[in-house]
Structure 1
């Protein structure tokens, strides 16, 4: 569902997380940020959203998630909520590890992140600051339905 955050469009959706859903979400993120010229921000957003939703798929019994992308003039806030109370763990992985790097990637790409417990689960909040030219904002125009 399309949401307005100030005068800038954002994205809010509820989804059952599976590989097809991840592909659809990545496309919606691309379209949401299509008018923004910061490729690093787009790349970071795609990796972060994919990693957060992959964690929901791998680590929760009910693979259901709430996703909210809220762009503003100077940053993009990404929130993923799920029904697990288990908090994500930032691990040190060796070079040969084939998994366990998700939160390390998020930590490296995000300006800040934190976990907010809620009734029956949690929300993981991630903020990525964009690099913009004067007068430019993170913006998109798309309609999304859950």
Structure 2
């Protein structure tokens, strides 16, 4: 199981996310869009079942981190697409604000999430890796909404 999860995580970053994983997140986001939701319920749909399946396996923490990395690859890809959509809106002040905040986002996220590597791993399965997944996903959801807003007219 460990080798499979680490292999999946490595593949996710080397080749991009697995299409089946992307489909799960996309279907959830489409439902959220239709109902006017934010999409927060879509975060963890790939990592959480993977983490649950990895529980009780030797190297739980490494497996959990690999599961989080697998989904983080999806949200990272979605971030790039959302940023392009915001830029396509053409609002110079919005583009500058987003660009400026993106320059500090990853560093801030990584400093904050590092604390989760210092606590009992079972408290926050996947430790800093899962934190990065959640923080990136939530940021991406906001960028998606912003991209829609600046391209409405």
Counting helix residues as a fraction of each chain, which structure ranks higher?
Answer: 2
TM norm structure 1? 0.30
TM norm structure 2? 0.29
Counting strand residues as a fraction of each chain, which structure ranks higher?
Answer: 1
